[in-house]
Amino acid sequence: MTTPTRPANPAPLVSQPPTISKGLEGVVVDETAISDVDGQRCRLIYRGYHIDELVGRATYEEVSYVLLNGTLPTRSQLVSWTHQLDQARTLEPQVLAALQAMPRTADPMAMLRTAVSMLGLSDPDPDDETLEIIRRRAVKTMAKMVAIVAAIGRLHQGEPVRPPTTGLGHAANFLAMLLGRPPTELQARALDAYFVLLADHGFNASTFTARTVVSTRSDYYSAISAAVGSLKGPLHGAANRKAMDMLVEIGTAEQVEPYVQRTLADHKRFMGFGHRVYKGEDPRAKHLKAIAQQLGETTGEIQWFNISERLQEAVWKAKQLYINVDFYSASLLHYLGIPTELFTAMFACARIAGWSAHVLEQAANNRLIRPLAAYTGPRDLRFVPLDQR
């Protein structure tokens, strides 16, 4: 009897081609109890509260508390939270010195990323990643973020950096540090509402970046500096800067139509329009629009609002694109006297609450984030020695 022989090259197993979801579109990678971005109904919920319920009623201090702790603070919890933020807002001399040593031409987001990373260097418990320590770092970083961004703004204008004011709210404190004078009640409320509206937003790119970093059991500061880097891109946080540049380029309401036609002809994007998840208008946009209009009317610079409104209508007519969070953020931040180059860093000042809450949630129930990729390159190549290539 002859022994059956194995074929030299067994027939390859036929396997189904993998399903690829470019940009992870439509992929649900984990659960979260922090926020719900409901794309179909265009709703945004923080810890059970619809943002319409919170904006104009809850301060950023209350919203950051609920995002990080799960429930709204009681009066005494809020006093303690506010006190912790007050205590942590002043920048360490070495962080300030580093910011002062950076080139005047440096991008504010690159400066912020470096400064956040520096905060970790003086952490008293560098090897401790317990939830309690992460929570302490989150409060400290949230408080200092506004001081860092205000310092960047002052240094870019060649002005001396101003310290925070104890007892002033988080948003008002930022404006006082940046502008060198206490803000009006309207300005402080406007920025506070902006911070509330942008505090969290599900598994967006920068938040997912933070969660990915922390999933390797790396530290809080690495996660937040990586998130700042992710937010810096024009398809994410830098769209607010680009939206303001677009308004300036348009210049007058009469120039809106020609601008739209030019942009369509050049196959370029309208910044502050479109969204991966929302199938209609971003639920934050109407609030930002109303605040921008109110500020525009009081500053006497209503043209930026008027151009925005006309552009919103024209882009809808031409391409049925809805506005997103960044569109009216642009005129709103401009009306507050914030230089355009700082806009994306303002977004970071708001989102630090969400990033921190997600870092905590990931650390509390971790599994290493490690997706697969479908390899499309060649196989079985033979190595060619250097002198034969």
287 is a site residue for ligand ACO (CB under 6 A)? no
Q: How far is the CB of 342 from ligand ACO (least distance, A)?
A: 16
The dihedral built from the CA positions of residue 211, 216, 217 and 222, taken in this order, carries a sign that is negative
239 is a site residue for ligand ACO (CB under 6 A)? yes
The string of DSSP letters for 1-18 reads -PPPPPPSSPPPP--PPP
269 is a site residue for ligand ACO (CB under 6 A)? yes
Q: Where are the alpha helices (DSSP H) in the chain?
A: 51-54, 60-69, 75-88, 93-101, 108-119, 131-156, 170-179, 185-197, 205-215, 220-231, 239-250, 256-265, 285-299, 303-319, 325-335, 343-364
Can you tell me whether residue 96 is helix, strand or coil? helix
Nearer to ligand ACO (CB atom), residue 147 or residue 311: 311
The interface region with ligand ACO, picked from 158-166, 270-278, 286-294, 350-358 by CB under 6 A, is 270-278
CA distance 313 to 322: 9
Which residues, at least 6 apart from 361, have a Cβ–Cβ distance to it below 8 Å? 32, 33, 34, 211
Active site includes 275? yes
Residue type (1 letter), 285: A
CA distance 115 to 334: 24
Can you tell me whether residue 43 is helix, strand or coil? strand
The binder of ligand ACO chosen from 88, 325, 332, 346 (CB under 6 A): 325
Which residues, at least 6 apart from 370, have a Cβ–Cβ distance to it below 8 Å? none
55 is a site residue for ligand ACO (CB under 6 A)? no
227 is a site residue for ligand ACO (CB under 6 A)? no
- Catalytically annotated residue among 170, 192, 200, 275: 275
Radius of gyration of the chain (CA): 24
The interface region with ligand ACO, picked from 109-117, 159-167, 233-241, 293-301 by CB under 6 A, is 233-241
276 is a site residue for ligand ACO (CB under 6 A)? yes
- Residues pairing with 46 in the sheet: 35, 49
- Which CA distances in Å does 258 have to 183, 238, 269, 306? 37, 24, 15, 16
135 is a site residue for ligand ACO (CB under 6 A)? no
Q: How far is the CB of 267 from ligand ACO (least distance, A)?
A: 8
DSSP 8-state assignment for residue 323: B
Q: Please, which of residues 16-35 interact with ligand ACO by CB under 6 A?
A: 23
**Total binding residues toward ligand ACO, as defined by CB under 6 A:** 17
The interface region with ligand ACO, picked from 40-48, 155-163, 234-242, 356-364 by CB under 6 A, is 234-242
The binder of ligand ACO chosen from 208, 270, 305, 328 (CB under 6 A): 270
The interface region with ligand ACO, picked from 86-94, 290-298, 303-311, 321-329 by CB under 6 A, is 321-329
CA distance 290 to 283: 12
Nearer to ligand ACO (CB atom), residue 238 or residue 363: 238
Q: How far is the CB of 275 from ligand ACO (least distance, A)?
A: 5
274 is a site residue for ligand ACO (CB under 6 A)? yes
Q: How far is the CB of 354 from ligand ACO (least distance, A)?
A: 12
- Catalytically annotated residue among 86, 326, 334, 358: 326
Q: Which residue has the closest beta carbon to ligand ACO? A: 274
CA distance 290 to 286: 6
The binder of ligand ACO chosen from 73, 169, 183, 272 (CB under 6 A): 272
**Maximum Cα–Cα distance across the chain:** 100
Active site includes 326? yes
Q: How far is the CB of 171 from ligand ACO (least distance, A)?
A: 19
Are 168 and 383 spatial neighbours (Cβ–Cβ below 8 Å)?
no
233 is a site residue for ligand ACO (CB under 6 A)? no
Interface residues with ligand ACO (CB under 6 A)?
23, 235-237, 239, 269-276, 321, 324-326
Cite the active site residues.
275, 326
